[in-house]
Amino acid sequence: KQEVTQIPAALSVPEGENLVLNCSFTDSAIYNLQWFRQDPGKGLTSLLLIQSSQREQTSGRLNASLDKSSGRSTLYIAASQPGDSATYLCAVLRGGSNYKLTFGKGTLLTVNP
Amino acid sequence: GAGVSQSPSNKVTEKGKDVELRCDPISGHTALYWYRQRLGQGLEFLIYFQGNSAPDKSGLPSDRFSAERTGESVSTLTIQRTQQEDSAVYLCASRNGGNPGYTFGSGTRLTVV
């Protein structure tokens, strides 16, 4: 059974700091890995999607890496801003016909002005 | 519509009552998922619909939970005889065919008192 773990559970940083969020998964037979952002009272917003054959994806100040063989991914946020405060969720997609996502519990990020 | 719409956004119900949650997926999205997010937990898969195929109900926690979807349109998740442990945010997501990207709704926050 696939298990996804995110470390740390919570992180508080001053504005402008670069930071790394970690995600690990137990079964390396994944189709892709996705990072989502969740704001209070809102749904999930997809940030980055890395296919199993890829090593990293970048979008603006965000960079996500994937090491499938070791079961690890990191989300790097450069020059953090208070607007980045949210819960960040990592999810892995098992291949097959139903595209079922398995989620970690998330990292609650607070960026202080 | 432009996004996945869920209603109601909040629901408070008494223990033992039945509740019905609604999801309107993005038009043309053939796949629809229900997930549950309990406090402090990751998202749990509940059920998956793909077109007219038999749904994947493997995540439903008990026979008190059921869901329906007519064709590729609206889905309803019904919880009978609600219990306090059913309190959670129920999230719906839709996806377009072979595209692995998900679009999530804002969720329904269910509180059973």
Q: Looking at the partner chain, which of A43, A97, A104 has a beta carbon nearest the beta carbon of B105?
A: A43
B102 closest CB neighbour out of A41, A46, A102: A46
Q: Do A99 and B4 touch (CB under 8 A)?
A: no
φ/ψ (deg, to 5) at A47: -100, -55
Distance CA A100, CA B33 (A): 9
A44 vs B20: which has the higher pLDDT = B20
Partner B contacted by A31 (CB < 8 A): yes
Under the banding of pLDDT at 50, 70 and 90, the label for residue B86 is very high
- Minimal C-alpha gap between A44 and chain B (Å): 6
Contacts with B48 from chain A: Cβ below 8 Å: 98-100
| CA–CA distance, A102 with A110 (Å, rounded to integer) | 24
Nearest to A15 by CA among A72, A78, A108: A78
Verify whether the Cβ–Cβ distance B101 to A101 is below 8 Å.
no
Q: What is the largest CA-CA distance in chain B?
A: 41
Q: If pLDDT is split at 50, 70 and 90, which confidence band does A107 have?
A: very high
Which residue of A6, A30, A44 is the best one to mutate when testing the B interface, meaning the one whose CB has the most B CBs within 10 A? A44
Residues of chain A contacting B43 with CB distance shorter than 8 Å: 89, 91, 101, 103
Q: Are strands B88-95 and B108-112 parallel, antiparallel or unpaired?
A: antiparallel
Indicate the pLDDT class of residue A94, thresholds 50, 70 and 90.
Answer: confident
**pLDDT for the residue numbered A31:** 87
Q: Are the Cβ atoms of B101 and A41 closer than 8 angstroms?
A: no
Pairing of strands B75-79, B65-69: antiparallel
Q: Determine the pLDDT at residue A41.
A: 76
Widest CA span of chain A, in angstroms? 45
Measured between CB atoms, which of A43, A46, A98 is closest to B106? Answer: A43
Nearest to B112 by CA among B10, B33, B42: B10
Which residue reads 């309990």 in tokens? Answer: B38
User: Rounded to whole angstroms, how far apart are CA atoms A106 and B42?
Assistant: 7
In the numeric block, the tokens 């508080």 are attached to A12
* Mean pLDDT estimate for chain A: 93
Contact B90, B31 (CB under 8 A): no
Top-confidence residue, A99 or B19: B19
Strands (E), chain A: 4-7, 10-14, 19-25, 32-38, 44-51, 56-59, 62-67, 72-77, 86-93, 101-103, 107-112
Instruction: Decide: A29 and A92 in contact? Cβ < 8 Å.
Output: no
- Cα A73 to the chain's mean position, in Å? 7
Peptide bond into A8 cis (omega under 30): yes
Q: Across the interface, do B41 and A32 touch by the CB < 8 Å criterion? A: no
Residue for token pair 């054959």 = A53
β-pair type (A107-112, B5-7): unpaired
